[in-house]
Amino acid sequence: MNEQVRRQPDGCRRALSEAYDTALLDLDGVVYAGGQAIAHAVESLTTARDGGMHLAYVTNNAARTPQAVAGQLTGFGLPTGAEDVITSAQAVARLISEQVPAGARVLAIGGEGLLVALRERGLEPVTSADDDPAAVVQGFDPALDWTRLAEAAYAVQRGVPWFASNTDLTIPKERGIAPGNGALVEAVRIAAGGSPQVAGKPQPPMHRETVLRTGARRPLVIGDRLDTDIEGAVNGGVDSLLVLTGVTTPAALLAATPPHRPAYVDADLRGLLTPQPEVSADGDGFRCGGWRAEASGDSLAVTGEGAPLDGLRALCAAAWTAAGDGSCAADAGKALARIGM
């Protein structure tokens, strides 16, 4: 049986907010989408915090300062200090500062959050490849124009060390899914070649920055993306909760490879406040709640009835065990329709 399926963390028997001391929360797609709080997020996080869980917000979005993010969260009804927000801009600024001289110039292609983080590390942001930068760094900025991307490409072509806060290809917004910093990094890559050093999730520099700033001893990573939030948790050796309020679909979850498999899955942040149901082996299949799932050849089958999320949990166990170290190749459409997802 797949090790991650067999493992049952202590938190599954208690509310997750009681089993873990710190929630390391992604923001876009978990707490909010654009300028709007996601349903149940504020109430759930307030209850978790009142019960003693430390809330820390860990975002790959490098555009805004921690102070600005904290202000938005406070406006939603989640009183937050800047010290509770960790950004990929902070992680990449530390990474750069370890590789260039103190006070070095850095060609910064990004928003205020990136500029502030660089200055906090004693680095000098500049705007042109002709300013003799010691490094070039890209961070998300919704106001970014072609001219600034071109400056990054010119610098990279000249051999200047290249960094990126993160490489998320998309970002959830109120109106849908929009291009993320990774799409902008790809534009520079197409023009200049090469690959940047990346600091944000799922890379180790972001996990290191988070641990340094929060002091978490038993953290739970909470996110909506398999390839950043969940992979980052796996890389850091900590448990994770996937919420289905962002970009990941149930079908994508079933097809997840081992680095992208969360310890827990729930519909939204209300999952913090309840025990996670046990998924147990049942003959050649797996059972969760009133559902039993089994993988046979290239197909998944599920029987029973109950909460759709329990059906999804059982299906994940069956699909991941059948897939071994690869992705699940089973046609899951009928099984997902059977459980109502």
Whole-number pLDDT of residue 10: 39
Identify residue 325 by its one-letter amino acid code. D
Annotated catalytic residue 168:
no
Q: What is the pLDDT of residue 4?
A: 42
pTM tops 0.85: yes
* Residues 136, 114 contacting (CB under 8 angstroms): no
* Encoded tokens for 121: 């590390």
CA quadruple 34, 110, 143, 190: dihedral, nearest 10: -100
Residue 134 confidence (pLDDT): 98
Burial of 175 (0-12, 13-18, 19+ CB in 10 A): exposed
pLDDT score recorded for residue 326:
52
Q: Residue 177 has what pLDDT?
A: 86
- The CA distance from 43 to 134, in Å, is 46
Q: 26, 84, 239, 310: which one is catalytic?
A: 26
Annotated active-site residue 26? The verdict is: yes
Q: Closest by alpha carbon to 241, among 289, 2, 232, 252?
A: 232
Could you say which of 10, 21, 28, 130 is catalytic?
Answer: 28
pLDDT of residue 330: 56
Cβ atoms of 148 and 187 closer than 8 Å: no
Half-sphere exposure of 187 (CA within 13 A, CB side): 19
Which parts of the chain have pLDDT scores under 50? 1-11
Amino acid 11: pLDDT: 39
Residue 324 has what pLDDT? 62
Radius of gyration of the chain, Cα coordinates, nearest whole angstrom: 21
For every residue of 229-264, DSSP letters joined together read IIHHHHHHT-EEEEETTSS--HHHHHT--GGG--SE
Looking at residue 3, what is its pLDDT?
A: 41
